[in-house]
Amino acid sequence: MIVSVNINGVDRSADVEPRLLLSDFIRHHVELTGTHVGCEHGVCGACTVLVDGRAVRSCLMFAVQADSCEVTTVEGLAGEGGEADLHPLQEAFREKHGLQCGFCTPGMLMTLVPFLEENPSPTEREVREAISGNLCRCTGYENIVRAVMHRVEQGLTGEARAHG
Amino acid sequence: MKPAPFEYVVARSVEETLAGLAEHADDVKVLAGGQSLIPAMNFRLAQPAVLVDVNGVDELDFVRVEGGELRIGAVTRQRTVERSEEVRRLAPLLHEAIPSIAHPQIRNRGTVGGSLVHADPSAELPSVMVALGARMRIRGPAGERWVAADDFFVGLLETAVGSDELLLEVAVPEAAAGAGHAFLELQRRHGDYAMAGVAAAVALDGSGRCAGARIALLSVGDGPVLAAGAAGVLTGETPSAELFAAAARAAAHDDIDPPGDIQASAPYRRHLVEVLVRRALTLAFQRADASGARA
Amino acid sequence: MADSLIGQGIRRVEDPVLLTGRGLFVDDVHRPGMLHAHFLRSDFAHGIIGSIDASAARAHPGVVAVYTADDLGDYWAKGPLLVPPPPIEGLVFNEATAGPLARGKVRHVGEPLAMVIAESRYVAEDAAAHIVVDVEPLPAVVDIERSLDPEAPLIHEELGTNLAARVGQSKGDYAAAAGGAHLVVKRRFTYDRGVSGAMENRGIVADWDPVSEKLTVWDTTQAPIPIRNGLARLLGLMESQVRVVAPFIGGGFGPKIMMFYPEEVLVPWIAMKLGRPVKWIEDRQESFFSTTQERGQVHEAELAVDAEGRILGVRDVFIHDTGAYDPYGLTVPINAQCTLLGPYEVPSYESEFTVVFTNKTTVTPVRGAGRQHGVFVMERLLDFAAAELGIDRVEIRRRNYVPAGSFPFNHKVLFQDFADLVYDSGDYLPALDRAVEMIGYEDFVKGGQAAARAEGRHLGMGVVSYVEGTGIGPYEGARVTVEPSGIVRVATGVGTQGQGHFTTFAQLVGDVLGVGVDRIRVTTGDTGEFNWGTGTFASRGIVVAGNACWEAARMVRAKVLALASKRWGVAESELELVDGSVRVAGDPGRSMELGRLAVEANPLRGAVTPGMEPGLEATAYFGPASGATASGVHAMIVEVDPDTAMVEILKYVVVHDCGEVVNPVIVEGQIHGGVAHGIGNAFYEQLVYDDDGQLLNASFMDYLIPTATDVPSIETAHVVTPSPLNPLGVKGVGEAGSIPTGAAFAQAVQDALGSGAPDVCEIPLSPNRLWEIMEVAARSGARPGHAEGGAS
């Protein structure tokens, strides 16, 4: 069946089987491969994207369920300038070495962006709980938490950006 | 880990849902939040021939107060309930329990009805609804009926909702004056299914005695388990540490026959239930005191 | 020279591409006309294959081909023995490696039986369900202590035994030492299996181009060059016809260096055969069965000490589980055997291990690679000896450290690299003192713990030491090239899985050439870019490849100086390399960008004189004589809830010595990740098999990788004893964090339970298991957690 999804501001349509996972649609049909797949049973969080502004596991939705929805993936976070125009949270991850292999990173970012919008000044404990559904094997989470707290401390600097 | 093929039906109303269920009666499942069903399909443990997607049934997406009851539509997202001021005020036990359900990404999709009908013995919402004495409204080809939570959960992953029926909403009585509550569970990691858990709703009478208690336990049976023995120990008695300990013993030794699995053996589960019930009752009666004081 | 780039915690150059989702991982490779592979795997742990009927699967719409072992013809062959056993007298080793698809027998759940090639992964999985497999199940060998029982079924009949190896090493006279000892403590220790748990599963894409007759393979391997070499041999191609690319890899941790996995053998072959690109991506469920695992050992160990707690000797007899096959030789148990000795002087040592086959997934190194077992045994023995002697646990370690002046220190046992276990350098006391200070040891033992107990809180502390052999040979290489644009290209053969090689190698090269890291492009893991090397393992990247990068850069620098000296007629000593240019010091008029010099060095007319090569390029190799020895101290404070047996880690401190530090931020990150992995091994992660060899927790729902709420904040500090074995003085750090965590955790938990607490001699613990241990002790009289609960 035909599915039409607006991904990062661009309308994408395809004729897909109902069983096609949203994660596979994003990665292999639209070829936005920044969204990663780590478990396909909703535990690791690597495939987290925003559907209509809410963070969800894209491996636990069928692409057809996203019909007429707005989806934001990690590719939609940075500004027009791409790597030179990082989202403040991406900047913070870079500043604090919040990523190593980079595989879990897109899911971390897409979980944290709406979290920080809702809770702009969280405690460290709240940050840890917010990402407790995102597994990382490289960082021990320490520098991810430091990156978020760094971003929080910068507060206004971040909000001034287009994507804050 | 890719799901097997299925036919996909989008329902926009309760009527369309019931029609879809009737048409594909042989092998059909309702797709609500999908946060338990889709993993099972990805593992190919579930291979339904037809899915009727109720995510677009807007008429079942609500939280409202009606006739002294809190009414929550079956396709209301768990995240919506978590943020609902009405829920916080009228059903604080439910409010307290919701953050224990997995993670925000799951609660953003997961629905109240989906969790109740899936009836996983480790799930939080079934136990909470039993403790709160909620009722469920079900509609099917034969019409509508209300079922009390105690009768709603009938076995392992099994409820009173027939294969051609749909859960419409759940109604939770407003917490009365003198009521206290506590939700406690022990998870290996934040967001995991609990090794054991307890949802307790208690009430004090005017003389400071326990007017009644509903204690529902999770992860210790085929579904939510109402600890009637523990409630019997409490009712009519004056709260005390000794009383809570006696009730906890009753819960652990009379009310349950827990299974063992790789995270928690049966004896350990029994032990945890005793600890958790004791702690939950202590907290719930403290709160009942406090609410009495405020009143 | 301007401020050195070495030692600076600069931001990683690879991060922008990863943060914006543009980094290429293997599953991101899309090729026109690409087919998808899926493997049907054994449901049984042990059984005889009767027949496999794939006809219905072959007829399934969208299926291109289905292969069983019988369909592979001459291509079916057993895999190689990657690491032959070291030359130890009396050593017994029985080799058993797996073929790409099971033939005759299956020996563990998940062993591949058939490969389905289809237009999509979805269809391939559909078709696999139609393959009819007839397997006659056999009893499974699961318990490693019963593998050699006479009645145990044989896993490899041709060997006539389930014994994979037996190795003894000794020095001194342990029996005499024990006979004269003031105290001998004996315990039985167990350490169980876990997975590496990289967030990215394995995967491979192969694309054969019949026009250029070249095969390109994208592979999640840690060792692209050996994979290239092996594939060329298997497929009858020249090495120059095969390009293996290990792009961004989502974590390795050891198992991604198993050469060869069945899928790596089959996917390139089928891509050539069908003339279409083929992709296989392991899913999480199959990773629990098919990606190699580690950590199952049982030790019976004893420690002999004098009245002051000085070590007289150690005896250790242990069993190591290699799973169904032993392609990686003895690396893991030898690491356990050697690393047990730790930072201590051990005059006599008697160690024997037995490696057994079981009907479980094959064992190869996972982050730490056997080292944690040795550390666990030794550190716990010291704890028990200290308790019995009434010596402070920190003090007993202090008394036994190899003194600072004794390096190089030869333990006189053979290590995994077949050389004597020699510690190149180290200084253990400062690290211990620092850790003790950071964790607040004195306050804790002199009152903090008791005060908490008086409030009903059960706190415990663990303080442990370890050393880690890192940076072993044979060698790595690097090529450094100055492009006409002034961009410096660096190519090396090692793969990278998040260690920050793009940044640290750039720092090393940039430091030598006076070029900022933003003007340096590092390529790793692409055999099209660099031809020689082995791979990323054994905490060796910075030591072996790093030194090669540095040396190649120095060769380019020498060339730059020679050319500039000649051009301007000045002595080389008057020249400096700054900001991407070479210039005469103090004379801004005589300065040239390196890119321009590179063009001049590659002239269109005139001659390149003998002894000079064109361009600004050099290739260097580095092979250390033996490994560099990193070391450290971990300390933690835990709180145990004695009612529920839940444990929370309140504080974690690491003082680490990895020699000279190239990038302290990256080093710290490596330690954080290792500690989290170690915490997983200590309290969360365990593969649970039933008696039939069925894995009961093959999902991330049931196998518990620690989350952000389970891992505490980790404080780190450094001690630096440079390695004399390489010019940079560096030592490895990749595995360090995960090695002593279990030992520290066990000590801390036991400490929290108070005196009279049961001995904690196993890893992993879990709340359930800890409760059982406490219950057993309670029934036997001591009531841990309650016996002296001040306030209760």
Q: In this structure, are A96 and A115 located in the same domain?
A: yes
Task: Tell me which of B248-262, C414-428, C540-554 is least confident.
Answer: C414-428
Q: Are residues A71 and A104 in the same domain?
A: no
Q: Mean pLDDT, to the nearest integer, of C28-45? A: 98
**Type of residue numbered C122:** Y
Look over chain C and give the mean of its residue pLDDT values, rounded to a whole number.
Answer: 95
Average pLDDT in the B207-234 region? Answer: 97
Q: How confident is the model at residue C756 (pLDDT cuts 50, 70, 90)?
A: confident
Residue A163 maps to a domain: no
Asked if C702 reaches chain B (Cβ–Cβ under 8 Å), the answer is yes
**Domain shared by A41 and A68, yes or no:** yes
- Same domain for C217 and C332, yes or no, is no
- Please list every residue in chain B whose beta carbon sits closer than 8 Å to the beta carbon of residue C125: 1-2, 4, 44
CB atoms A131 and C708 under 8 Å:
yes
C478 and C452, same domain (yes or no):
no
Distance separating alpha carbons of residues C589 and C581, to the nearest angstrom: 12
Q: Considering chain B, what is the average pLDDT of its residues? A: 96
Size of interface A-B (CB pairs under 8 A): 78
Does C643 touch chain B if contact means CB atoms closer than 8 Å?
yes
Quote the tokens at residue C102. Answer: 């099971």
Contact between C772 and B265 using a beta-carbon 8 Å cutoff = yes
Domain match, C276 and C329 both: no
Residue B191 contacts C where some CB pair is shorter than 8 Å: yes
d(CA B108, CA C350): 59
B1, C285: Cβ pair inside 8 Å? Answer: yes
**Same-domain pairing of A31 and A70:** yes
Whether C279 and C398 share a structural domain: no
Closest residue of chain C to B1, computed from CA coordinates: C283
Q: By the 8 A CB rule, do B213 and B176 touch?
A: no
pLDDT of residue C782: 55
Query: How many domains does chain C fold into?
Result: 3
Residue A55 and residue A86 in one domain = no
Residues 477-516 of C with CB under 8 A from A: 497-500
Q: With H, G, I as helix, E, B as strand and everything else as coil, classify residue B137.
A: strand
Beta-carbon separation of B1 and C766 below 8 A: no
Tens digit of each residue's pLDDT (9 = 90 or more) over C267-325: 999 999 999 999 999 999 999 999 999 999 999 999 999 999 999 999 999 999 999 99
- pLDDT tens digits for range C418-457: 888 999 999 999 999 999 999 999 999 999 999 999 999 9
DSSP state of A21: B
The mean pLDDT of C757-774, rounded to a whole number, is: 95
In the predicted model, what is the mean pLDDT of residues B187-215? 96
Does residue A102 sit in the same domain as residue A126? yes
For residue B291, what pLDDT band results from cuts at 50, 70 and 90?
Answer: low
Report the C-alpha gap between A16 and B235 in whole angstroms: 59
Residues C102, C208, single domain; the answer is: yes
Substitution target from A62, A104, A118, A141 for chain B, most B beta carbons within 10 A: A62
Which of A48, A61, A133 comes nearest B102 by C-beta?
A133
Q: In this structure, are C404 and C271 located in the same domain?
A: no
pLDDT at residue B292, as a whole number: 56
pLDDT (mean) for A102-106:
98
| pLDDT-derived band at B199, boundaries 50, 70, 90 | very high
Sheet holding B194-204, edge to edge: B179-187, B194-204, B210-218, B225-226
Closest CA to B186 of B198, B178, B195: B195
Once rounded to an integer, what is the mean pLDDT over residues C388-417?
94
Is the pLDDT confidence value at C792 over 60? no
Query: C188 by DSSP, 3-state: which?
Result: strand
The tens digit of pLDDT for each residue in C472-523 reads 889 999 999 999 999 999 999 988 899 999 999 999 999 999 999 999 999 9
| Residue of B12, B38, B45 to mutate for A, most A C-beta atoms under 10 A | B38
Q: Which of A33, A60, A76 represents a domain boundary (last residue)? A: A76
Give the bridge partners for C654, in sequence order.
C634, C716
Q: Are C193 and C296 in contact (CB under 8 A)?
A: yes
pLDDT (tens digit, 9 = 90+) per residue, C96-140? Answer: 999 999 999 999 999 999 999 999 999 999 999 999 999 999 999
Q: Which residues of A are less than 8 Å from C669 in CB distance?
A: 97, 100, 138-139, 142-143
In a 13 Å sphere around the CA of C464, the CA atoms on its Cβ side amount to 34
Full residue range of the structural domain in which residue A111 is found: 82-154
| pLDDT at site B293 | 45
Tell me which of C570, C598, C622 is where a domain ends: C622
* C468 and C342 within one domain: yes
**Do C226 and C121 fall into the same domain?**
yes
- Is the separation of the CB atoms in C294 and C254 below 8 Å? yes
Interface partners of A (3+ CB pairs, < 8 Å)? B, C
pLDDT score, position C555: 97
pLDDT at position C606, please? 76
**C704 and chain B in contact, CB less than 8 A:** yes
In chain C, residues with a C-beta closer than 8 Å to the C-beta of B193 are 701
CATH number at residue C567: 3.30.365.10
- CB crowding C535-546: b at 16 or more within 10 Å, else e: bbbbbbbbbbbb
Q: List, as ranges, residues 654-693 from C with C-beta within 8 Å of B.
A: 684, 688
Does residue C787 have a pLDDT over 70?
Answer: no
pLDDT of residue C776: 85
Look at residues C588, C622, C656 and tell me which one is the last residue of a structural domain.
C622
Contact A18 B51 (CB under 8 A): yes
Q: DSSP alpha helices (H): ranges in C93-223?
A: 121-128, 174-179
User: Is residue C156 in some structural domain?
Assistant: no
Q: What is the predicted pLDDT for the residue at C735?
A: 87
Looking at the predicted structure, is the pLDDT value of residue C186 above 90? yes
Half-sphere exposure for C235 (CA within 13 Å, toward CB): 30
Has residue A159 been placed in a domain?
Answer: no
pLDDT at B177: 83
CA distance C632 to C668: 13
Q: Is C707 in contact with B190 (Cβ distance < 8 A)?
A: yes
Per the omega criterion (within 30 degrees of 0), is the bond before C403 cis?
Answer: no
Number of Cβ within a 10 Å radius of residue C547? 27
Q: State both tokens at C255.
A: 């198992």
Chain A hits for B41, CB-CB cut-off 8 Å, are: 19
The CA dihedral of C612, C615, C618, C619, to the nearest 10 degrees, is -110
From the list C125, C710, C771, which residue is nearest B189 (CB)? C710
pLDDT band at B295; cut points 50, 70, 90: very low
Token digits of residue C75: 């291509």
Nearest CA to C230 out of C202, C269, C191 is that of C269
Binned at pLDDT 50, 70 and 90, residue C613 comes out as confident
Residue C78 is predicted with a pLDDT of 96
In a domain, residue A116? The reply is yes
Question: B2 touching C, CB under 8 A?
Answer: yes
- The verdict on residue A87 lying in a domain is yes
Strands of the sheet with C575-578, listed across from one edge: C575-578, C581-584, C587-593
Q: Does the pLDDT of residue B23 top 90, yes or no?
A: yes
Residues from chain A contacting residue C664 (CB–CB below 8 Å)? none
- Eight-class DSSP state of C206: E
Q: Are residues A14 and A52 in the same domain?
A: yes
Per-residue pLDDT at C642: 94
CB spacing of B44 vs C125 below 8 angstroms = yes
**Strand arrangement of the beta sheet that strand A2-7 belongs to:** A10-15, A2-7, A70-72, A48-51, A54-57
| Same domain? A69 vs A11 | yes
Q: Which helix (H) or strand (E) holds C356?
A: strand C348-357
Q: Give me the pLDDT at residue A83, please.
A: 84
Nearest C-alpha neighbor of B111 from the set B36, B22, B7: B36
The tens digit of pLDDT for each residue in C685-706 reads 999 999 999 999 999 999 999 9
Domain that holds residue C574: 15-21+473-622
Instruction: Determine, yes or no, domain membership for A27.
Output: yes
Q: Are residues C373 and C311 in the same domain?
A: yes
Give the per-residue pLDDT at C473: 82
Q: Would the pLDDT of C784 be above 70?
A: no
Domain end call among C567, C591, C622: C622
Q: Do A51 and A94 belong to one domain?
A: no
Q: Is the pLDDT of residue A161 over 80?
A: no
Contact A57 B109 (CB under 8 A): yes
CA angle B287/B291/B293 to nearest 5° reads 115
Q: Do C668 and A97 lie within an 8 Å CB cutoff? A: yes
Structure token pair of residue C702: 């049931």
- Residue C284's closest chain A neighbor by CA? A39
Is the pLDDT at B290 greater than 90? The verdict is: no
Residues 6+ positions from C293 with CB-CB distance below 8 Å: C193, C194, C195, C196, C255, C323, C360, C361, C362, C363, C366, C687
For position A159, what pLDDT does the model report? Answer: 42
Label residue A46 by pLDDT band (50, 70, 90).
very high
Residues of C with Cβ-Cβ distance to B39 under 8 angstroms: 701
Last residue of a domain, one of A27, A54, A76: A76
HEC assignment per residue over C383-409: HHHHHHHCCCHHHHHHHHECCHHHCCE
Instruction: Indicate if C419 and C350 belong to the same structural domain.
Output: yes
The amino acid sitting at C400 is N
CB–CB contact C767 B186 (8 Å): yes
Residues A6 and A70 in one domain: yes
Q: Which residue of B has its CA nearest to C686?
A: B262
Return the SS3 of C687. Answer: coil
Band (pLDDT 50/70/90 cuts) for residue A18 is very high
Same domain for C336 and C414, yes or no, is: yes
Whether C242 has a pLDDT exceeding 60, the answer reads yes
- Which pLDDT value is given to residue C491? 96
- Please check whether residue B4 touches C, CB under 8 A: yes
Share of chain C above pLDDT 70, in %: 98
Using the Cβ of B186 and the Cβ atoms of chain C, whether some distance falls under 8 Å is answered with yes
Considering the domain architecture, whether residues C468 and C479 belong to the same structural domain is answered as no
Query: Residue A50 maps to which CATH number?
Result: 3.10.20.30
Task: Calculate what percentage of chain C has a pLDDT beyond 90.
Answer: 89
Calpha distance C265→C232 (Å, rounded): 11
Specify the pLDDT at position C781.
Answer: 66
Whether residue B197 has pLDDT greater than 50:
yes
Query: What chains are in contact with C, requiring at least 3 Cβ pairs below 8 Å?
Result: A, B
Q: How many CA atoms lie within 13 A of C172 on its CB side?
A: 20
Do A19 and B2 make contact, defined as CB atoms within 8 angstroms?
yes
The CATH number of the domain holding residue C63 is 3.90.1170.50
C-beta separation of A114 from A26 below 8 A = no
CATH code of the domain in which A122 resides: 1.10.150.120
Query: Residue A64 is nearest to which of B4, B8, B106, comparing CB atoms?
Result: B8
Q: Which of B3, B189, B268 is nearest residue C707 as measured by Cβ atoms?
A: B189
Is residue C284 within 8 Å of residue C199, measured between CB atoms? no
pLDDT reading at B152 higher than 50? yes
**C-beta of residue A48 within 8 angstroms of C-beta of residue A107:** yes
* Distance (Å, whole) CA B32 – CA C89: 66
Q: Which of A36, A56, A76 is the last residue of a domain?
A: A76
Smallest Cβ–Cβ distance between A101 and the set C24, C27, C249 belongs to C249
Is 50 exceeded by the pLDDT of residue C786?
Answer: no
| Residue C315 is assigned to a structural domain of this protein | yes
A64 and A114 co-located in one domain:
no
**Tally of domains within chain A:** 2
pLDDT beyond 90 at C640: yes
Q: Which residues of A touch C673 (CB under 8 A)?
A: 100, 137-140
CA torsion, ordered C84, C86, C87, C92, to nearest 10 deg: -70
In angstroms, rounded to a whole number, what is the distance separating the alpha carbons of residues B164 and B141? 7
Peptide bond into C153 cis (omega under 30): no
Residues of A in contact with C707 (CB under 8 A): 131-135, 141
Alpha-carbon distance of B223 to B216, in angstroms, equals 10
Residues on chain A touching B35 (C-beta within 8 angstroms): 42, 57, 60
In the 3-class helix/strand/coil scheme, how is C63-119 assigned residue by residue? EEEEEEHHHHHHHCCCCCCCCCCCCCCCCEECCCCCCCCCCCEECCCCCEEEEEEEC
Which structure tokens are listed for C665? 């931020």
**A161 inside domain:** no
C789 in a domain, yes or no? no
Contact list in A for residue B51 (CB cut-off 8 A) is 18
CB–CB contact B108 A60 (8 Å): no
Both tokens assigned to B54? 């109720």
Check if C19 contacts A (Cβ < 8 Å).
yes
Q: Which residue in B38, B262, B189 sits closest to A42, CA to CA?
A: B38
